[in-house]
Structure 1
Amino acid sequence: MKIKPYTQPIVPNNNGRQFQQFPNIYSDPPYEEEGSKLDLRQILGVLRRRFLVVATVAIGVASVVGTRTWNSQPQYIGSFRVLVEPITAETKVAQTFGAIVYSILDYDTQTEVLRSPSVMTPIIEKIKAKYPEITYESLIGNLIITRLGQTKIIEVRYQDVDSKKINDVLQQVADGYLSYSRTERQSDVRQGIDFVQEQLPNLRLRVDTLQARLQKFRQQYNFIDPETKAQELSGRMNGISQEQSNTKTRLDEMRSLYGTLQGQLGLQPNEAILASALSEASRYQKLLSEFQDVETKLAVESVRFTPENPTILALKEQREKLLPLINKEAQRVLGNNLSPATINRERLTYQNSIRLSLTQQFVDTTNQIKVLEVRNKALDQASALLIREFQQMPIRAREYTDLKRELEVSTDSLLRFLSSRESLEIEAAQKATPWKLINTPDAAVVISPSKYRNIMLGVIAGLILGAGAAWLAEMLDSVFHSVDDLKEKSGMPILGIVPFHKSVKKLFPVTETARILAGENQKNAPADSNLRRYNASPFVEAFRSLYTNVRLLSSDLPIRSLVISSSTPAEGKTLVALNLAQAAAAMGQRVLLVDADLRRPQVHERFGLTNMRGLSNLISAEDLDINDVIQQSPLEENLFVMTSGQVPPDPTRLLSSEKMQNIMAQLQTAFNLIIYDTPPLLGFADANILGTTTDGVVLVVGLGKTDRYSLMQTIEGLKMSGTPVLGMVANGVKKNTVHWHDSYNRYYTQTAEKGLGARG
């Protein structure tokens, strides 16, 4: 068989069984609506428990507020309103430089000015003539100046205990404000106009100076705009670059043609010029022809005659005479710069039409090369100048931009000052119209105290403070008051809820308790005979439900033994043990209730049994039989009781003995359920010793009695010791903290009504 304790690990006991965790019956989280209802129930429960605190605080606060309200002196208030701007829908006054200027009054600043000593001092001096006790502080403390909504109206209110005084003060304040509007309101505008007039000459001079500098700059560098000039320079540089490219191409062509012609003619450029010039001189050509004829004859005759032949000599002499004439003619044609010795007659002698044409072309090519070289050099110089000028453009552009920016800033400042001057003049013209009092100071009316309202607020405040005091007292209270609070703080399942019953005292015997409950049930039962057969009550049903829950904790075999204990004394553990045993016996189980509280036994007193021999005697004596210490209950035939016996000097030693283990094992075979009533857990080891040998411990918590810290310390101790815990029993639950009382009563009431109806 496997028993499922709540949070403990598997712990073997002497009965040969093992314990394992049973499923958490609260595994599903509650709905949010249920959580909010639970919080509301907790709050209502706190208010019920602390009703006296809430009532005391509420009555006290309401009494104090009511007393002060009835005894306080009434306060009066009066007011007047002033129109401070024109009523036109839009006060559009000018259109300057494309911008519409509107008259805008700063109402927050205006109200502060109206409250200032400079404005209020003359008014207070007039008021003191009738009310000398009034000072600036006392007047301002009760004077309220506000703007009326989003209108152009300022409302002035004054409160005091004297209604006549209010009217007199408001009249003086109204007159003072109207006087202020006529005389003082234009001073700031006039000061602004004077300031603008002082600044305008300097601004104009600065603008003129910057304009002159900009004009001189443009004239110096010969441009209007640096960007345009840069574009122009870039275009010129591109044009020169293109022209340089074309010139170089043409120069290369001419040089190529020059080389070709020079190769064909075999002449130098100066020789070509000479050849060209001499080819056009007729006398030179005639002499040259004669010289050629002489040369021809000399060559012919040299074949026929010897060099000493007179003919040969005559021809040579003729040739020698022609040479000076040719040189002289060439000197005449070519000028004094050319020596005849430089003339190569062999290359210049024969000039036909083709050679003359080539010579002329050679001369032209030479001249064009010279021209192109000069042009190329000029283009290089122009390009260098443009490049230097272009490189200087960023500096010029920066200087121009700075100068222009200064001019624009100065111009804008001048325009703003001119516009401000016009606006201020228009504003001054508008403010020439004084404020208008749209209503005279009203008759003072009572504003406080509002007796009924204050009393109602006092009651509400008292209730709120009372609820806060109740909540504070609840927070300072360290005991559990509700089942929900117990379950939330401990984190353990609640096996049973035992209702509080004022007729069942913890010191009553079981027989007396049963008699009281039976008499009450007979008194409250319906007249129907069928219903009188069953003496039902929430108290009895609570223990039957408790036993059912304990029994269902086991998945295989029912629980055979358990320990009933509590964290501290006087929590009702013995009462729970007695009634649980009685409920289990009534449900057909053979039950043994063992009073294992060897320190302060109570079971025999509750049942009215003798305690001559009991558990302590059974453990100590060697010849005492178990049957000699077991007594039958006078209430149930299936219920048997083993009292504690004589109080031993060392109870813990007896309960932890091996004989006690053997006794528990022997009892396990004779009864269906064994319940051990033990001392409290906190401070005593008795319950822990027995709990490890049984199926587990049932922890009884007395609501309204158990300290939170003590219970949590007890739970931690059980976890550390490895004692299996089956769950908790909430004892002494009031009707207003749970709802199953209502369900129980409603169920039986409906049953009774149905029975009576059928019988009728």
Structure 2
Amino acid sequence: MNNQSNSGNSTHTIVERNGKSPLVLDYATRPHVSQSEEDWQSPQVLDIARRRGLLIAGTAMTVTLLTGVITLRQTDSYEGAFQILVEPVTAESEQGLDPLSSEPKPSSNTGLDYATQIQVLGSPKTMKPIVEQIQKRYPEIGYGSLMDQLSISRPEDTKLIAVKYKDEDPDRVKFVLDQLAAGYLTYSQQERQSNLRQGITFVDDQIESTRKRVDTLQRQIQTFRQRNNLIGTEALASQVASQIQGLEQQRLEARREIAETQKQYNNLQDPSGAIAALAADPAYQKVLDKMREIDSKAATESTRFQASEPEMAVLQEQRNSLIPVLRQEARRVLGDKMASVGTDLSVLETRQQVLGNAQRYWEQEVQRLPVVSRIYSDLERELNVATDSLGRFLATRENLQVQAAQKEVPWQLIAPPATPQMPEDTKQRNLVLGAIAGLLLGVGAATIAERVDDTIRTNDELRKHVRLPILGSIPLYEALQRPHFLQRGIPQRADLRSDTFRYSGFSESFGSLYSTLRMLKADQPIRSVVISSPSAGDGKSTVATYLAQAAAAMGHRVLLVDADLRHPQISSLLDLANDRGLVDVLTSNLNPQQAIQRVFNLTAARVTNDPTAIVADDENLYVLTSGQVPPNPARLLSSQKMKRLSEYFHAMFDLVIYDAPPLLNLADSKLLASHTDGMILVTGLGKTSRFELTQVLDRLQTARTPVLGMVANRDPSSFADMTY
């Protein structure tokens, strides 16, 4: 068989013997998601309770029993209490000023941190003078023993503090509460006066430091504005933008003038341009007019005189004398014109350079502007914050001074201590709380056990852990777990032939498994499979046996081969003789037909040497046991003779099922799978761990072993006894 794998996507390709219909399966494990990351729904909680019921019940009973023993050993105790009003309740008193705000505070906000106040009341510093007064009468009471029996709390939505104390002696309860009440009232008077004085001192210190901070920030802003010529960041931004826009317009105008001047300069160097420049010069035109006048006069006189006559010679001489003058005038005019244009061009280029430098300067100012603005904004913000803080501190000082001038309202004892008359009945409550705590601890212990346990317990957990298809789910059949079936592994003949078993959920699950196996590749049905498992005890031999029976019951000729040459099980499961088997066929010249046994009504019967006898009988299940255990099973299964024998079985039977050894730390199954259409991996729910399964699948992928799918064995969610 040809195998193809792609490590990039963790897929495995199975190519059939005839090269048709490649089946691509991805059997890499999915990343394990712990149960703490999953949604704990009610079905999962019920499953945990069912699996860990003994742990939950044991923990709950143990905790409840311990609670009961401790409660019964406790002596009766008396509890007394008193209540102190720590804040005024009148609307006038409630509507005060918040020390940090000039606005009236709402009546619902008392401003007292009750949680902190309760901690202070129970602190060693506050309790020290009270304990000293108590020890004058009861020296055995110390701070630790007092706090163990003392409870300080705030009744919900009140301005009260409730103090409770428990002891075996009711008179001692009354005395301790009296001392606590007196001590707390004294503390309230001292604390309020001390708080006001400390508050005013603190606010004065803050005002001084904040005022210095305001002065420092004002000086920094003044220096920064002077150094950067800054009136305001918005004005500076507008000025920079205006300058850049104006310079851009001037540079455009300068470029236009340079282009025109350059064009004029180039025209002066061209004959046509030179003629135009000379035509515009009056001096040159005056000389030219004289020459034209002489030419006109010579033309007139030429009608009367010959060219050699003196009159014509005089005119020619006059004309010749004007030519140098005309040329000199032309050079003067063109030279002056070009010098003037060149000077203009140089001036314009200098202007363009100056404008460019100016524009670059203002562009640098644009780059600097955000930094300047940010620094200025930060300084202004700090100044605003400091100014606001200074204002609040000034207002707070005024409020504290007003409060200090007002009449102090001390704490009031509204429910004085009394001597308790009846002991506190806590036994029933303690027992109920102990039972609840035990149940919660039991559930917690079960949850921890579930999270620590790496075992795959349900079909859903298996489906989430692997990417292979789940070909079938075999329900947990309680009969197989009974002592006499732990040896045989399958029900007795009467059980198997009964209608109740034949149409039970357990039996039908194998029919469904075989149907699924046939539909994996419809164009070329699977003819040979290896049944293996990650480790021993997953039920692979049982699955192989019942799968063979289900296929035979559908009219197919099925050969079940016990290829587990290390710990063979098929012969004992089917009660067959194992004196000759696969090992004998591979190690000797024994004809396979002499070792194959036909199962008649699930009882062993030898097959005759005539192959037609297999076809003639109504029973279609044939078994090749393992034979004697060889010293080197892997060598036999990887031999060429095993390959030829597999091809022979493939040709003789509709389906060949090999019961192979477990995969963990053994290579037998992988060697055998190379001679078949693929492997079916049986996973025992409640036994196989995620680590074992991941390790096995990784090794199968490395060996490029074709795996058709998984079978979930002993599924507790299926119903083995269900009939239809």
Q: TM-score range by the shorter chain?
A: 0.5 to 0.7
CA shift, 1:413, in A, is 13
Q: Are the counterparts in 1 of residues 581 and 595 from structure 2 also a CA contact under 8 Å?
A: yes
Question: Using a 3 Å threshold, how does the CA distance of structure 1 residues 443 and 561 change in structure 2: closer, same or farther?
Answer: same
User: SS of the counterpart of 2:91?
Assistant: coil
Q: Are the counterparts in 2 of residues 5 and 20 from structure 1 also a CA contact under 8 Å?
A: no
Corresponding position of 2:440: 464
Distance 1:462 1:88 in 2: 48
Q: What amino acid is the match of 2:58?
A: T
State the Cα deviation string for residues 115-140 of structure 1 (Å, max 9, x = none): 78898777666655544444566556
Corresponding position of 2:492: 513
CA shift, 1:712, in A, is 2.2
* Equivalent residue for 2:456, pick from 458, 462, 480: 480
Distance 2:187 2:458 in 1: 72
* Equivalent residue for 2:530, pick from 563, 574, 577: 563
Question: Using a 3 Å threshold, how does the CA distance of structure 1 residues 454 and 660 change in structure 2: closer, same or farther?
Answer: same
Corresponding position of 2:292: none
* Equivalent residue for 1:158, pick from 154, 162, 165: 165
Distance 1:589 1:46 in 2: 42
Q: Are the counterparts in 2 of residues 123 and 176 from structure 1 also a CA contact under 8 Å?
A: yes
Greater alpha carbon shift after TM alignment, 674-683 vs 644-653: 644-653
Distance 1:193 1:599 in 2: 88
Corresponding position of 1:630: 596
User: SS of the counterpart of 1:9?
Assistant: strand
Q: Are the counterparts in 2 of residues 2 and 555 from structure 1 also a CA contact under 8 Å?
A: no
Distance 1:193 1:566 in 2: 78
Corresponding position of 2:566: 599
Larger Rg: 1
Distance 2:200 2:700 in 1: 92
TM-score normalized by structure 2? 0.58
Corresponding position of 2:644: 662
Corresponding position of 2:679: 697
Q: Aligned runs of 1:634-653 on 2, under 5 Å?
A: 634-635=600-601, 637-653=619-635
Corresponding position of 1:548: 515
Q: CA RMSD in A?
A: 4.9
Corresponding position of 2:657: 675
Distance 1:37 1:703 in 2: 21
Distance 2:632 2:520 in 1: 34
Q: Which runs of 5+ in 1 are unaligned?
A: 27-34, 204-407, 526-533, 749-760
Greater alpha carbon shift after TM alignment, 580-589 vs 461-470: 461-470
Corresponding position of 2:670: 688
Q: What amino acid is the match of 1:716?
A: D
Distance 1:591 1:417 in 2: 97
Identity within the alignment, %:
39
Distance 2:596 2:641 in 1: 17
Q: Give the total of aligned pairs.
A: 505
Corresponding position of 1:295: none
Question: Using a 3 Å threshold, how does the CA distance of structure 1 residues 729 and 441 change in structure 2: closer, same or farther?
Answer: same
Distance 2:523 2:5 in 1: 14
Q: Are the counterparts in 2 of residues 479 and 708 from structure 1 also a CA contact under 8 Å?
A: yes
Question: Using a 3 Å threshold, how does the CA distance of structure 1 residues 475 and 630 change in structure 2: closer, same or farther?
Answer: same
Question: Using a 3 Å threshold, how does the CA distance of structure 1 residues 146 and 107 change in structure 2: closer, same or farther?
Answer: farther
Q: Are the counterparts in 2 of residues 616 and 646 from structure 1 also a CA contact under 8 Å?
A: yes
Q: Aligned runs of 1:377-388 on 2, under 5 Å?
A: none
Distance 1:648 1:419 in 2: 103
Q: What amino acid is the match of 1:628?
A: Q
Q: Are the counterparts in 1 of residues 25 and 468 from structure 2 also a CA contact under 8 Å?
A: no
CA shift, 1:39, in A, is 5.1
Distance 1:650 1:117 in 2: 80
* Equivalent residue for 2:175, pick from 159, 168, 176: 168
Distance 1:413 1:621 in 2: 105
Question: Using a 3 Å threshold, how does the CA distance of structure 1 residues 581 and 446 change in structure 2: closer, same or farther?
Answer: farther
Question: Using a 3 Å threshold, how does the CA distance of structure 1 residues 713 and 161 change in structure 2: closer, same or farther?
Answer: same
Q: Are the counterparts in 1 of residues 565 and 626 from structure 2 also a CA contact under 8 Å?
A: yes
Question: Using a 3 Å threshold, how does the CA distance of structure 1 residues 151 and 501 change in structure 2: closer, same or farther?
Answer: closer
State the Cα deviation string for residues 645-694 of structure 1 (Å, max 9, x = none): 44444333333222322222232222211112222223332221221221
Q: Are the counterparts in 2 of residues 5 and 726 from structure 1 also a CA contact under 8 Å?
A: no
* Equivalent residue for 1:455, pick from 409, 431, 438: 431
Q: Does residue 1:587 correspond to 2:587, yes or no?
A: no
State the Cα deviation string for residues 615-660 of structure 1 (Å, max 9, x = none): 33333444x4443333322126112222334444433333322232
Corresponding position of 2:364: none
Corresponding position of 1:402: none
Question: Using a 3 Å threshold, how does the CA distance of structure 1 residues 455 and 562 change in structure 2: closer, same or farther?
Answer: same
User: SS of the counterpart of 1:592?
Assistant: strand
State the Cα deviation string for residues 394-429 of structure 1 (Å, max 9, x = none): xxxxxxxxxxxxxx99x99999899679726742xx
Q: Are the counterparts in 2 of residues 696 and 724 from structure 1 also a CA contact under 8 Å?
A: yes
State the Cα deviation string for residues 534-578 of structure 1 (Å, max 9, x = none): 942222112111111111111312111111122223332222222
Distance 1:426 1:478 in 2: 72
CA shift, 1:105, in A, is 8.2
CA shift, 1:59, in A, is 0.8
Corresponding position of 2:69: 67
Question: Using a 3 Å threshold, how does the CA distance of structure 1 residues 160 and 674 change in structure 2: closer, same or farther?
Answer: same
Q: Are the counterparts in 1 of residues 664 and 692 from structure 2 also a CA contact under 8 Å?
A: yes
Q: Are the counterparts in 2 of residues 3 and 559 from structure 1 also a CA contact under 8 Å?
A: no
State the Cα deviation string for residues 90-136 of structure 1 (Å, max 9, x = none): 13799xxx979999885768878877889877766665554444456
CA shift, 1:586, in A, is 0.6
Q: Does residue 1:738 correspond to 2:717, yes or no?
A: yes
CA shift, 1:579, in A, is 1.4
Distance 1:413 1:613 in 2: 103
Q: Aligned runs of 1:44-83 on 2, under 5 Å?
A: 44-83=46-85
State the Cα deviation string for residues 327-377 of structure 1 (Å, max 9, x = none): xxxxxxxxxxxxxxxxxxxxxxxxxxxxxxxxxxxxxxxxxxxxxxxxxxx
Q: What amino acid is the match of 2:662?
A: P
Q: What amino acid is the match of 1:466?
A: G
Q: Are the counterparts in 1 of residues 475 and 718 from structure 2 also a CA contact under 8 Å?
A: no
Q: Aligned runs of 1:56-205 on 2, under 5 Å?
A: 56-83=58-85, 88-91=90-93, 127=134, 130-135=137-142, 142=149, 153-174=160-181
Distance 2:567 2:113 in 1: 84
Q: What amino acid is the match of 1:458?
A: G
CA shift, 1:63, in A, is 0.8
State the Cα deviation string for residues 580-624 of structure 1 (Å, max 9, x = none): 1111011011112222233343333433443444333333444x4
Q: Aligned runs of 1:209-228 on 2, under 5 Å?
A: none
Q: Which runs of 5+ in 2 are unaligned?
A: 29-36, 209-386, 602-617
Distance 1:689 1:194 in 2: 90
Q: Does residue 1:494 correspond to 2:470, yes or no?
A: yes
Distance 2:434 2:457 in 1: 30
Corresponding position of 1:294: none
Distance 1:600 1:414 in 2: 89
Distance 1:116 1:12 in 2: 80
Corresponding position of 1:610: 577
